[in-house]
Amino acid sequence: MANAVELAIEKIDEYKSKIGRTLGTPMRLRDLIRQVRAARTMAEERAVVDRESANIRESFRDDDSPWKCRNIAKLLYIHMLGYPAHFGQMECMKLVALQKYTDKRIGYLGAMLLLDERSEVHLLVTNSLKNDLTSSMQFISGLALCTLGSICSAEMCRDLANEVEKIIKQNNAYLKKKAALCAFRIVKKVPELMEVFIPCTRSLLGEKNHGVLMGATTLVTEMCERSPDVLNHFKKLVPNLVRILKNLLMSGYSPEHDVTGISDPFLQVKILRLLRVLGKDDSKVTEDMNDILAQVATNTETAKNVGNAILYETVLTIMEIKSESGLRILAVNILGRFLLNTDKNIRYVALNTLLKTVHVDYQAVQRHRNVVVECLKDPDISIRKRAMELCFALMNRTNIAIMTKEVLIFLETADAEFKSECASKMYIATERYSPNHEWHLDTMITVLRLAGKYVPDEVVSCMIQMISASEQLQSYAVSQLYHAAQRDAINAQPLLQVAFWTIGEFGDLLLQPTDADSTPISESDVISVFESVLPSALTSLITKCYGVTALAKLATRFHSSGERIEALVRMNQGHIQLELQQRSVEFNVILSLGELRDGLLERMPVITHNSLNAAAPSMMDDESSTTNYVADTTPVTNGDLLGDLNLGGSNDYSSDLLGGGGGVSAPTNQYSNQNVLDIFGDSPAGGLDFGAPAPVARETFPAVIAINERGVEVQLQVIESWKNERARVKMVAYNYTPSTITNFTFLAAVPKAFEVALETASSPNVEPNEHIEQFMTITRTVPNTAARMKTKISYIINGMEQVGEATVQKINGL
């Protein structure tokens, strides 16, 4: 029965609507909404909107139409649906110019939604706003203030700032609160206009109306953040703010301001935020607010989310100002209680805040380490991510073993997007706090096994550097990595890469017995590992290249497996991948050189730095004060790039860049700063360069990997080499992460013998498994000089800003 009545009413409404349109009455807004919602497809919805837009356009031609407000209301609904509605801008201006409040209300609402600084009609609203700001009717003045705050341009702010100031000085609380918020938007748009509002704003903080107080605190906060002088001016008002906050805490029940038993939590939050700005780095001002902050932290009810919001702001304020040690411990304990809350948002906020404040009171945060570790098991991915970051921030020499155990448990079942970051952070933590080298190595082998293919290249190169630099570790490392490679490591390609490099360099140490209980390892056992891994289709190209390199070196260390080694090296001479094919061919030639091969395949020099720079000083950090990068198309004076690099009379570029008068250090890691497969770098007297593929008939140059970290790879390729002392270089940035990269910026610096100008990148964003390109022109001012380059990238991924730097020592073609 009820359904039949509803159907009948709907039919009557539809019938009335049809009669109204027949008599010239436009469709009502509710009828348009009903028709749009009844559309079953996008095509039907567009048809409804297009038909009604045409009717609205037709009605606008009649200036005397009594239905303008109704038509503008429908047009605003169409605009909110995402359809064009710009043709209603002038009609909004006509409604604003009318005297009736109902007409102005719709007109100003349309102006706020349809106008912006780019539209020409925007300038026409200034006179209407100026007239309405001085209206005797407070509601019309309120409309003008709201509209000005919403769409103000810089010119409009300068024209109307004095009118807003006059309203702030009035006694009307309704207009004062709106004027204060409008002044906030004006100051945000044109900061130099804050001088207009400083005298009148101070009196606002003495008002009793809570709306005025909220507007005043918002305005004062904005002005203090923008000007140190204004900040010092308003520090005198801290006692007033403390008194207001204390009254809110001690006041009884007030139905007008009560929210779940708490008096005006919105105003409390605003005051706490302003106190945070006023008390930062000022011990004297902080003393005046310590007591009230302690009262808020202890007396605020936590049963409702409103109380948690106030406590959160209180914690941020305590940790930002020069508060007492006891107060900071109280703030951290509040965050610890948040971690036990069942609400996921509160737990996330607590972890995020602890991560930001861990440097303020490290020991206080350490007390909640067990709860943080438990958050690693939370089903929410955001909480697990923040908990992982906080765990690494809490690691030190005393808890490294316990924390590492928990992180490894987490890593075993972690999502793919966590494994890359976790592996990098684990390396940094273990290098800083490991009790000994053996523990460090064993832990990182476990990390490489658990993280599998998601281990960044920088971790592989850092592991290689660690083994290379520690002579006492090499025998233990080659044994442990050999056994790790023997086990099922096919799914952990980075682990195989480290193992192959180590076996290639120190394979002879494997044959030496370490103790009486250990099983002897024979040459045949070692070669069997390569025979099981290299032919597999699951083995990656780069792992096979590591393997071929290791086998070539083992040919000089093993004496009874030459035929098996040579067979494995020759196996890839016809491989489809040119990189692997070339190395197979070249190593096969080297192995036939007799005594010369021993010199070519001897152990590498000790690598002294790594790209993560956890314990060793960073070259890039040492030079940060003398290196300026260039972006886009702005040319940079070469002397500003790398400091005063004195090339000298002989133009010996290498000696000046890598030492001597220039003061520029060697690259941090040859594996991370150039092609990881470049086995020799600049070759000795023979003049062969095994680090780059041979050029084909047409002059092309292979790309060089400049940066490869956290799933982001940057390659540099010369596309035109020194034509009229100019070269063109293409930068290609690849995103191998599962997330979109935004705000990607590439910067480059060259020595003083060159100038570089970057063009705009093809896009600032890089989708997963996609790439962007950017071109640059390098001009050489000193002939016959080889170019080297420092590169830097910055980008945002998953809301976090990341930075990467590297020095490219050799660019093919430059």
Residue 257, Cβ density class (10 Å: 0-12 exposed, 13-18 middle, ≥19 buried): middle
Global pTM reads 0.63
The residue that leads in pLDDT, 709 or 642, is 709
pLDDT at 19 over 60: no
pLDDT at position 6 = 57
Which distant-in-sequence residues (6+ apart) come within 8 Å of 698 by Cβ? none
Asked if residue 414 is part of any domain, the answer here is no
- Where helices occur in 358-434 by DSSP H, the ranges are 362-366, 369-374, 381-394, 400-413, 416-433
Domain assignment present for 134? no
Phi then psi for residue 730, to 5 deg, are -110, 130
Confidence band (pLDDT; 50, 70, 90) for 4? low
Q: How far apart are CA 342 and CA 379, in angstroms?
A: 12
Alpha carbons 180 and 584: distance in angstroms, whole number: 75
Q: How far is it, in rounded angstroms, from Cα 291 to Cα 46?
A: 61
Q: How far is 471 from 484, CA to CA, in rounded Å?
A: 20
Q: Which domain holds residue 566?
A: 434-600
Q: With bands split at pLDDT 50, 70 and 90, how would you rate the model's confidence at 183?
A: very high
Question: How do residues 58-77 score in pLDDT, each as one tens digit?
Answer: 888 877 777 888 888 999 99
Shared domain check, 633 and 568: no
Q: What is the mean pLDDT of residues 522-539?
A: 89
Q: Alpha-carbon distance 479 to 19, whole Å?
A: 92
Q: How confident is the model at residue 8 (pLDDT cuts 50, 70, 90)?
A: low
Q: Are residues 458 and 490 in the same domain?
A: yes
Range in 60-64, 147-151, 530-534, 577-581 with the lowest mean pLDDT: 60-64
Do 665 and 800 lie in one domain? The reply is yes
Question: By percentage, how much of the chain surpasses pLDDT 70?
Answer: 84
pLDDT digits (tens, 9 = 90+) for 240-283: 999 999 888 887 667 778 888 888 899 999 999 999 999 888 88
What average pLDDT score do residues 82-103 get? 87
Which token pair is 190? 């044109």
Q: How far apart are CA 466 and CA 437, in angstroms?
A: 9
Higher pLDDT among residues 123 and 317, named by residue: 317
Count of domains for the chain: 2
Reported as a single tens digit per residue, the pLDDT across 51-60 is 998 988 888 8
Please determine, for residue 665, whether its predicted confidence score (pLDDT) is greater than 50. Answer: no
- Comparison of pLDDT for 15 and 3, the residue scoring more: 3
Boundary (domain end) residue, out of 540, 569, 600: 600
Q: Report the distance separating Cα 775 and Cα 507, nearest Å.
A: 44
Question: 641 with 748, same domain?
Answer: yes
Strand partners, 712: 709, 735
Q: Which residue has the higher pLDDT, 663 or 499?
A: 499
Residues 645 and 769 in one domain: yes
Asked if residue 593 and residue 509 are part of one domain, the reply reads yes
Q: What is the CATH number of the domain that holds 484?
A: 1.25.40
Rounded mean pLDDT, 392-402: 90
Task: Give residue 619's pLDDT band: very low, low, confident or very high (50, 70, 90).
Answer: very low
Let me know if residue 75 belongs to a domain: no
At 588, the amino acid letter reads: N
CATH number of the domain that residue 765 is part of: 2.60.40.1230
Helix (H) or strand (E) holding 465: helix 457-469
675 and 795 in a common domain: yes
User: Quick one: tokens of 605?
Assistant: 């020099």
Assign 226 to helix, strand or coil.
helix
Within a domain: 396: no
Same domain, 698 and 798: yes
Question: What confidence score (pLDDT) does residue 219 get?
Answer: 92
Domain assignment present for residue 142? The answer is no
- What pLDDT was estimated at residue 747? 92
Residue 726 reports pLDDT greater than 80: yes
**Per the domain annotation, does 795 fall within a domain?**
yes
Judge if 658 and 801 occupy the same domain.
yes
Round to whole Å and give the CA distance between 253 and 658: 73
Mean pLDDT of 515-522: 70
Cα(229)–Cα(346) distance, rounded to whole angstroms?
36
114-123, 127-136, 351-360, 416-425: segment of lowest average pLDDT? 114-123
Q: Is 761 part of any domain?
A: yes
Q: 764 to each of 41, 533, 630, 758, how far by Cα in Å?
A: 35, 40, 16, 14
CA of residue 633 relative to chain centroid, distance: 24
What are the structure tokens assigned to 77, written together?
């609904």
Do 507 and 631 lie in one domain? The reply is no
Q: How confident is the model at residue 543 (pLDDT cuts 50, 70, 90)?
A: very high
Same domain flag for 555 and 632 = no
What's the confidence (pLDDT) of residue 408?
92
Residue 245: closest CA among 307, 302, 293, 183: 293
Please give the average per-residue pLDDT across 194-222, as a whole number: 89
596 with 721, same domain: the answer is no
What is the structure's pLDDT at 709?
A: 84
Q: How confident is the model at residue 630 (pLDDT cuts 50, 70, 90)?
A: low
Query: Among 478-492, 577-591, 778-792, which range has the highest average pLDDT?
Result: 577-591
Instruction: List Cα–Cα distances, 87 to 82, 90, 475, 534, 703, in angstroms.
Output: 14, 7, 79, 68, 52
Whether 300 is covered by a domain: the verdict is no
| Strand (E) or helix (H) holding 745 | strand 741-749
Q: Can you give the pLDDT at residue 122? A: 74
